[in-house]
Amino acid sequence: MSTQNVNFQQTAWLKTVGGNIRRERVARGLTQEKLAELAELAPRTVQKIEAGRITILITTLRRLRQAIGCPYEALLREGVCRPAASQGTAEKAAAKAAKGK
């Protein structure tokens, strides 16, 4: 497999994951800024991740998953994004962040 093919596959995967993060965030009524705050990331980092322009560390993915309140599968694969389980998911995450975890 050529390096160019690997880079294309990685870029496609990053865009898929970024799109999944965006869908899950929007489904829960979170802005990029609020997600960044809950995940303790810079808002620009969330923007770049959602656009598929930067590689995601597993620790960053974990923080995003916890902040959004969804399973890893919802972020890593196409076609498994679900609507928010409950309206309170984002509110619980915000309350947890406000309490300092």
* Residue-wise pLDDT tens digits, 57-70: 999 999 999 999 99
Confidence (pLDDT) at 1:
58
pLDDT confidence bin for 99, thresholds 50/70/90: low
Superfamily of domain 3-98: lambda repressor-like DNA-binding domains (1.10.260.40)
Domain ranges of the chain: 3-98
User: In which residue are the tokens 């489904």 written?
Assistant: 27
- Residues 11-43 have pLDDT tens digits of 888 999 999 999 999 999 999 999 999 999 999
| More confidently predicted of 87 and 18 | 18
